[in-house]
Amino acid sequence: MHMRARSSDVLVVGGGIIGLVTAWRSAQRGLRTALADPEPGGGAAQVAAGMLAAVTELHYGEQMLLGLNLASAARYPEFVAELEEASGQGTGFRACGTLVVALDSDDRAHLRELHALQERSGLESEWLSGRECRRLEPMLAPGVRGGLRVDGDHQVDPRRLASALVTACERAGVVFHRAWVRRLGVTGGRATGALLADGTELAAGQVVLAGGSLSGRLDGLPDSVVPPVRPVKGQVLRLTVPPAYAPFLSRTVRAVVRGCQVYLVPRADGELVVGATTEEMGWDTTVTAGGVYELLRDAHELVPGITELPLTETRAGLRPSSPDNAPLLGPTAMPGLHLATGHHRNGVLLTPVTGDVMAHVLTTGELPEVGRPFAPHRFGRSPLIASPEALAPQEQPA
């Protein structure tokens, strides 16, 4: 494609929170930045609960990711303060901590293992008896057998975060193109921009592909640079705590019930988010009776009083997941093309550090130390790339 019109230094393809933070940081560094997305601020952030769970979502074999997660968690207070100042909007950040509880002896054994792993990893986490858990959170079920108190795992409201990032981008001079990207522009083997669905041609010195779970679907990408990202469905419920019931919960409460993660995230404004299913269902975003039933059943086992609350929303989103559950950040084999995608369960948590890593990449061409393990070239061509027919364009999250 020969690019003529509308040129910028950087074009970000995808306006979810990862694309937005990349564009914001890029513009702050003095780069003329454009972003293409039909609905900036949409995508998975509209569904996500917003747990900043570096410690409580630690998994065996993910030590490398832990370093990035902790680096981003440490940035959060300063990041939201800067973003709130820049946008004039709140983000709902709450330094509330998290309690992970066990409902039976199997859960308790699992939690003991998690606690040992956390301690070996040098993380702060305190073992509590069931009685101590209920003293902290009186709405917990009498049967709770023990738990882990993690005071460093906080929360933010992803919808407010996304909205604040849109405004911060606008104020920093990011040019929004509210349209689908039809295909990547490539000239002489180099990424040079994109063609939009409305026919607009965008030229750019560097292109960042931040299209969430659809990042592997952009036409014009040679196989060697297609990111191995697949959608992993999560169904999430939103309830409301009436003022008479407050404080219902004072911190995030989570557990693994019959092998499934369930978490309850209480916002300061009375919203209570309950999540989430983890389903390999391709591009399906249907909210199912079974998904809602399982979430409510498991949440009810943790906190029986939940059945009294109004259920205000049910929704499903798609996590953009890579083969090792860690993001793909930085330059690809195609000159001029970078990735910022594949954040799986940690997109909200990793927003601050992703912005910093991508700003460094865009201004120096190199990944900073913290981002180096997440270079896209750690994967060869992946068999996990979705088939092009799998999704109608209007369903595309960013």
User: Which residue lies nearer to ligand GLY by CB, 221 or 249?
Assistant: 249
Q: CB-wise, 51 or 358, nearer to ligand GLY?
A: 51
In angstroms, give the least distance from the CB of 318 to ligand GLY.
11
Q: Which two tokens stand for residue 257?
A: 């019930």
DSSP assignment letter at 387: P
**Dist CA 166 CA 172 (whole Å):** 10
Least distance from ligand GLY to the Cβ atom of residue 175, Å: 31
Q: Which residues are within 8 A (CB) of 99 and not within 5 positions of it... i.e. 6 or more apart?
A: 128, 133, 136, 137, 147, 148, 149, 150, 251, 252, 253, 254
Binding flag, residue 275, ligand GLY (CB under 6 A): yes
The token pair at 54 is: 């570096």
- Enumerate residues 290-319 that contact ligand GLY by CB under 6 A: 319
Q: How far is the CB of 343 from ligand GLY (least distance, A)?
A: 10
User: CB-wise, 154 or 345, nearer to ligand GLY?
Assistant: 345
Name the residue nearer to ligand GLY (CB basis): 177 or 344: 344
| Closest CB 234 distance from ligand GLY, rounded Å | 5
- In this structure, the strands spanning 311-321 and 271-275 are unpaired
55 binds ligand GLY (CB under 6 A): no
What type of residue is 182?
R
Nearest distance from residue 177's CB to ligand GLY, in Å?
Answer: 29
Place of tokens 């230094």: 9
Residue nearest to ligand GLY (CB): 345
Q: Which 34-53 positions form the footprint of ligand GLY (CB under 6 A)?
A: 51
- Using the minimum distance from each CB to ligand GLY, give the nearer residue, 158 or 331: 158
Which of 58/144 has CB closer to ligand GLY? 58
204 part of the interface to ligand GLY, by CB under 6 A? no
Question: Looking at beta carbons only, is 276 or 303 nearer to ligand GLY?
Answer: 276
Q: DSSP alpha helices (H): ranges in 88-157? A: 105-120, 130-136
Q: Do 183 and 194 meet the contact criterion of CB atoms below 8 Å apart? A: yes
Distance separating alpha carbons of residues 320 and 102, to the nearest angstrom = 29
Quote the least distance from Cβ 294 to ligand GLY, whole Å.
14
Instruction: Identify the DSSP state of 343.
Output: B
For the CB of residue 263, give the shortest distance to ligand GLY in the complex, in Å. 7
Say how many C-beta atoms besides its own lie within 10 A of residue 100's C-beta.
Answer: 28
Determine the size of the site formed for ligand GLY (CB under 6 A). Answer: 7
Candidate residues 14, 152, 158, 234; the one interacting with ligand GLY per rule CB under 6 A: 234
Q: Does 160 bind ligand GLY (CB under 6 A)?
A: no
- Give whichever of 45 and 367 is closer to ligand GLY, judged by the CB atom: 45
Distance CA 217, CA 19 (A): 16
Distance, in Å, from the CA atom of 256 to the CA atom of 359, rounded to the nearest integer, reads 37
Cβ 195 to ligand GLY shortest distance, Å: 33
| CB neighbours of residue 336 within 10 Å | 20
**For the chain, where are the alpha helices, taking DSSP H only?**
17-28, 63-87, 105-120, 130-136, 158-172, 289-302, 351-364
As given in the structure block, the two tokens for residue 144 are 């709770």
Nearer to ligand GLY, 152 or 275 (CB): 275
Site residues (CB under 6 A) for ligand GLY, limited to 331-370: 345
Quickly list H helices, 186-276: none
Strands 201-209, 230-240: pairing is unpaired
Q: Does 276 bind ligand GLY (CB under 6 A)?
A: yes
Provide the minimum distance between the beta carbon of 348 and ligand GLY in the complex, in angstroms, as a whole number: 7
What are 130's strand-pairing partners? none
Residues that bind ligand GLY (CB under 6 A): 51, 57, 234, 275-276, 319, 345
